Structure 1
Amino acid sequence: MRSSELDYDLPAELVAQRPAERRDGSRLLVHDRRTGETRHRTFAELPDEVRGHLTVVNDTRVVPARLRLRRRTGGEVEVLLVESLGSGEWEALARPSRRLRTGERLRASDRESPDPSVELLEALGDGRWRVRVAGEPHGQLPLPPYIHEPPPDPERYQTVYADEPGSAAAPTAGLHFTPELLARLDHERITLHVGLDTFRPLTAETVEEHVIHGERYRVEPAAWRRIEAAGTVLAVGTTTTRVLETLVRGAPLEGRAELFITPGFEFRRVDALLTNFHLPRTTLLALVMAFAGVERTRELYALAIRERYRFYSFGDAMLLL
């Protein structure tokens, strides 16, 4: 499949810059793959659409991982922590990276702390570094670049069930839930810590040439037993989908999800998918096309644009039954 087949044109004003006033006040585009019926609802009406499904959510929590630091020379450096490696070490992106050196210590921009904030341990190429962080990260939330201002309440870039710190980005399909709405659903939790590579645009000429980077996941045995035995499963988001389809193929309950889901994929455990509208040329859009069909996904995205749905992280949602 050519990567260009994942392109579409989106008016800039449809990129949501802030979340809806109420989480469950977002719009919900519902499509039934069996009947071909499409209907327009609000997210608060989700329980009426998924009766009988076991809803599975990703309870990862976004780390305040965007650190603004200074070199000893005074030059400013932005370090974005991408994945925890344990014992205070992280894989990170640093910019500007060209002049940084292994062993260098970067301090907080305010220069008030006598202790180094970040030590550069190893250059990994392409601006990536293995670093050691002194203490817990206390930076800014790593919002996507298409969001120009942070929300007044940083918790709006966290799900209400976020519990396990470790993500570099939010599992955005879950941002629409309220505690009250979640309580109306039969649900289970899994954990996958979202890395930035999930959102990285496809640069290869074909989708198959793209290399997807793994992300850490963990699922409790009791949760997997319920998911495995459920009659029908609703996966909240592409991250949840990748974990469930990884496990159903015999993977251990803790590891790295490296499954690249593209059109032609056979879904063995996910029966319905709740997802936001995604960027062109991304692995996320490829997964949605695998679930709904390439042409049908294009039709649904075109409909969403005509109906002025809001797109991307703070945008509206789509339910594929």
Structure 2
Amino acid sequence: MENFLVSSYDYKLPEGLIAKYPASPRDLAKLLVYDRKKDKIIHTVFKNILDFTGESTFIFNNTKVIKARIFGKKESGGKIELLLNRPYKNGYLVYIRGKVKAGSKLYFDNGLMAEVKELLEDGSRIVSFKLKVESEKCKALDFLELINILEKIGHVPLPPYIKREDEQIDELEYQSIFAKKEGAVAAPTASLHFTDELLKKIKEKYFLTLHVGAGTFKPVEVKDIRKHKMHSEFYEIPECTAKILDSNKEIVAVGTTVTRTVEYYAREKKLSGECDLFLHPQNPPIRVNHLLTNFHLPKSTLIMLVASFIGRIKTLEIYKEAIEKKYRFYSYGDAMLII
């Protein structure tokens, strides 16, 4: 039963081990390798990763982080902060810091305005975005038009545990070098360690897209993790990638987002849709052979995903050793490879 108690996935992390900036260069981050067959931990640096993956095929997430955080004002003049999450129904799902009600209008730079359509119970809001073009006329915006405006006025949506404002360095560093398809509001962080040089050395690599949403930071609020309702995120798998997934080739899933997408496809065989798969010790992987990931928040669905590969007790043992060895944690932190 302990494996299903959210409290059983807790650990204490010294504040100083939360990475506020990335390693430089990217591939000099630390890498903890756990060999399941030998039950052995190896400490190395990320640029040596290919020494441990053999002839495995790498699967990457090519989603691109958008400048989803914007600051504006209410009609009353009060300040407001909005985080775009994703397109939703006939509008957009967002999080708003500041009190609003249905019908509220919010104003941002460059003529961008938002109208609050609905307040949802989970704290998110549905809004529509429009652009003020002349006098009182407004133009409805499609997703690409909205992204273009956000690129000019928005901020990089750093995770809440990186307790600083975004800087120019984040526009480059909080993005993988192969980011292509815009739509994520959080980076697939295991990808952040790859350099052009390292990527060229990988013989077989394929891509898929899962747009990481703000739900990735949503806490598990039930005592029994099996009752947790997982957030959903849009994904798309090219046919060439699906062929690899349908084969018996050994694959390295680069990150939890790739893992969830591959495992969802292995169960549903759909090339696109909404992925809401929750991996944990009672729902282990059936297709991914090797997992590359960062170190995750206590009591999060992400640490539970790691436990779906190696069990809760071993996961916590490894995290304890990583803390003792002064690994850096979370989005800009060091990495872990399970083989």
TM bucket, shorter chain: over 0.9
Residues 1:118 and 2:114 are matched in the alignment: yes
Q: Secondary structure at the match of 1:244?
A: helix
| Partner residue of 1:158 out of 158, 170, 175 | 175
Q: Which residue of 1 aligns with 2:133?
A: none
Deviations 1:222-272 (A, max 9, x none): 211123214201001111001001111133100011111111323221000
Q: Which residue of 2 aligns with 1:136?
A: 146
Q: Which residue of 2 aligns with 1:213?
A: 231
Residues 1:103 and 2:68 are matched in the alignment: no
Q: Please give the alpha-carbon distance, in whole angstroms, between the structure 2 residues aligned to 1:33 and 1:281.
A: 23
Residues 1:67 and 2:70 are matched in the alignment: yes
> Number of aligned pairs?
314
Q: Which residue of 1 aligns with 2:96?
A: 94
Contact 1:65 1:140 in 2 (8 A): yes
**By how many angstroms is 1:21 displaced?**
1.3
Q: Secondary structure at the match of 1:146?
A: coil
| Partner residue of 2:213 out of 166, 175, 195 | 195
Q: Which residue of 1 aligns with 2:81?
A: 78
**By how many angstroms is 1:152 displaced?**
3.9
Q: Which residue of 2 aligns with 1:15?
A: 18
Contact 2:57 2:250 in 1 (8 A): yes
Contact 2:265 2:271 in 1 (8 A): yes
Q: Which residue of 1 aligns with 2:302?
A: 284
Trace 1:158-307 onto structure 2 (pairs within 5 A): 158-185=175-202, 186-307=204-325
Contact 2:235 2:272 in 1 (8 A): yes
Q: Secondary structure at the match of 2:268?
A: coil
Contact 2:245 2:266 in 1 (8 A): no
Q: Which residue of 2 aligns with 1:34?
A: 37
| Partner residue of 2:57 out of 54, 57, 60 | 54
Gaps of 5+ in 1: none
Q: Please give the alpha-carbon distance, in whole angstroms, between the structure 1 residues aligned to 2:283 and 2:120.
A: 32
Contact 1:188 1:227 in 2 (8 A): no
Residues 1:320 and 2:330 are matched in the alignment: no
Q: Please give the alpha-carbon distance, in whole angstroms, between the structure 1 residues aligned to 2:300 and 2:333.
A: 17
TM-score norm. by structure 1 comes to: 0.94
RMSD in angstroms over aligned alpha carbons?
1.5
Contact 2:263 2:288 in 1 (8 A): yes
Q: Which residue of 1 aligns with 2:135?
A: none
Identity of aligned residues (%): 38
Q: Please give the alpha-carbon distance, in whole angstroms, between the structure 1 residues aligned to 2:335 and 2:61.
A: 16
Q: Please give the alpha-carbon distance, in whole angstroms, between the structure 1 residues aligned to 2:179 and 2:129.
A: 23
Contact 1:274 1:320 in 2 (8 A): yes
| Partner residue of 1:3 out of 6, 16, 22 | 6
Q: Please give the alpha-carbon distance, in whole angstroms, between the structure 2 residues aligned to 1:158 and 1:46.
A: 20
Q: Please give the alpha-carbon distance, in whole angstroms, between the structure 1 residues aligned to 2:219 and 2:268.
A: 29
Q: Please give the alpha-carbon distance, in whole angstroms, between the structure 2 residues aligned to 1:307 and 1:266.
A: 28
Q: Please give the alpha-carbon distance, in whole angstroms, between the structure 2 residues aligned to 1:72 and 1:260.
A: 41
Deviations 1:273-300 (A, max 9, x none): 0000000010000000111111111111
Contact 1:198 1:212 in 2 (8 A): no
Which consecutive segments of 4 or more residues in structure 1 shift more than 4 A?
none
**By how many angstroms is 1:19 displaced?**
0.4
**By how many angstroms is 1:151 displaced?**
4.5
